[in-house]
Amino acid sequence: MHSDIERILIPRNALARRVAELADELARDLDALDPDAEIVLIPVLTGSIIFVADLIRHLPHKLRIEVVTASSYPGRATTSQGAALAGPLPEDLTGRHVLLIDDILDSGSTLTLLREELHRRGPQWLRTCVLLRKQTERARSVPCEYVGFEIADEFVVGYGLDYDNYYRNLPEIAVLRKDAM
Ligand code: IMP
Ligand code: MG
């Protein structure tokens, strides 16, 4: 697997440090809002699993997790094919504190669609958190309150992100060799 990697973009210690910082930021905001607020985290499968697993272990709050499934890069696609929901959304969000979490913000079609759908369910507080955001006009135009890293507009894998469902288990964020795609 490692022979498919061209270079490491974000090493594991930098990921760990930044995820802890993001959790602190989030914890501060939640405490300022209401220290007893119960939070619903909504991770987008499958790419956000590692990020969410690391993030929640820094959050001392009472929280619940409701996963959603969406896909805009099916299979071997390396450009967005348009977002689609592939399952139900949580229903009981009225008056709740909701944090939508994804691995990466690229075209933004996934998060735009999900945020609209969640907003319609009447949460009291709704924010979005991503580990990575591509440095494009399009990505920056999508509302997102918590961003781990800004990265160049290139296709990355690892730490949950895939190519054709592989490489999610890489502990770093990496760029694949062209001949591996
Ligand atoms: P968007 O809807 O175009 O913003 O794409 C978001 C989804 O596409 C993410 O949840 C990822 O699963 C996938 N995606 C976007 N860029 C990349 C990438 O560079 N590597 C792997 N997956 C990506
Ligand atoms: Mg994804």
Instruction: State pLDDT tens for residues 90-149.
Output: 988 999 999 999 999 999 998 999 999 999 999 999 999 999 999 999 999 999 999 999
pLDDT, tens only, 47-75 = 999 999 999 999 988 999 999 998 766 66
Q: Which atom of ligand 1 is nearest to the CA of 107?
A: 3
Looking at all shown ligands, the one closest to residue 81's CA atom is: 1
The tokens describing 90, both together, are 């949580």
Residue 40, beta-bridge partner list: 64, 98
Mark residue 108 as left, alpha or beta (left: phi above 0; alpha: psi -120 to 50; beta: remaining). Answer: left
pLDDT at position 86:
79
121 CA to centre of ligand 2 in angstroms: 22
Q: How far apart are CA 118 and CA 124, in angstroms?
A: 11
Q: Tell which wins on pLDDT, 130 or 3.
A: 130
Question: CB within 8 A of 125, min separation 6: which ones?
Answer: 33, 37, 96, 97, 98
What separation in Å is there between the alpha carbon of 36 and the centre of ligand 2?
A: 31
Report, as residue numbers or ranges, the catalytic residues: 106
Q: Which ligand is nearest to the CA of 46?
A: 2
Record: fold of 2-30+38-67+93-176: Rossmann fold (3.40.50)
pLDDT bin (cut points 50, 70, 90) of residue 83 is: confident
User: Average pLDDT in the 160-169 region?
Assistant: 96
Domain extents in the chain = 2-30+38-67+93-176
Pocket (CB within 6 angstroms of ligand 1) = 44, 47, 72-73, 80, 83, 102-110, 155-157, 161-162
* For residue 81, pLDDT beyond 80: no
Q: What is the pTM of this model?
A: 0.93
What amino acid occupies position 69?
T
Q: How far is the CA of 146 from the centre of ligand 2 (A)?
A: 17
Please, are residues 60 and 113 in contact by the beta-carbon 8 Å criterion? no
Q: Which residues pair with 130 in a beta bridge?
A: 102, 147
